[in-house]
Amino acid sequence: MTGQAHVVTPGEGRTVDLGVARMRVLADSAVAGAFSLTEFAGTVEGAWTVPHLHHGFEESFFVLDGEFTFTVGGEPVVAGPGTYILVPRDTAHTISAGAGGGRFLTLMVPGGLEKMFLELGELPANAITDPAARKAVSARYDSVPV
């Protein structure tokens, strides 16, 4: 892809419904190589994920709309629009949406975790918040429920 821009306009990009939220892939590991960039959006209040950690990569978030509580290493971080959070490797974290949900970007370095979410989207609604379903899929993607 040397010399050519990768462009995803509004309404484009592979999208998967995860029940509590929808994920749109902006740049996957096949395009970007060293990272993946996704957008998560939803209107559901409450948990958007189970407590988990990653051994082999960092995950960071940039809140676009709404209010979220990111619990990172046991410490809650209330995050509104414009807030950036980096979760270091081997650090347990969860995400919970405030009233009305919201939207955030997720940057994964290196990339590849977006494939887990695409697979979770093929399972029954809200598998992303079901510890048993999540554990079955997560093991292949370095997303370890804790």
Instruction: Characterize 89-101 residue by residue with b for buried, 16 or more Cβ atoms within 10 angstroms of its Cβ, and e for exposed.
Output: eeebbbbbbeeeb
The contacts of residue 67 (CB under 8 Å, 6+ apart) are 78, 79, 80, 97, 98, 99, 102
Number of domains in the chain: 1
The contacts of residue 53 (CB under 8 Å, 6+ apart) are 89, 90, 91, 92, 93, 143, 144, 146
Q: Looking at the DSSP assignment, which residues form a beta bridge with residue 142?
A: none
Higher pLDDT, 105 or 143: 105
pLDDT of residue 142: 84
Question: Quick check: is 2 in a domain?
Answer: no
DSSP assignment, residue 127?
G
Question: Quick check: is 133 in a domain?
Answer: yes
Question: Quick check: is 80 in a domain?
Answer: yes
Reported as a single tens digit per residue, the pLDDT across 28-63 is 888 867 899 999 999 999 999 889 999 998 999 999
Supply the CATH number for residue 23's domain. 2.60.120.10
pLDDT of residue 4: 85
pLDDT of residue 1: 47
Question: Quick check: is 88 in a domain?
Answer: yes
- Residue 65: domain span: 15-141
Whether the pLDDT of residue 124 is over 80: the answer is: no
Nearest Cα to 41, choosing from 104, 87, 86? 104
Angle at 143 between CA 84 and CA 109, to 5 degrees: 45
Reported as a single tens digit per residue, the pLDDT across 70-102 is 999 999 999 999 999 999 999 999 999 999 999
**3-state class of 94 per DSSP?**
strand
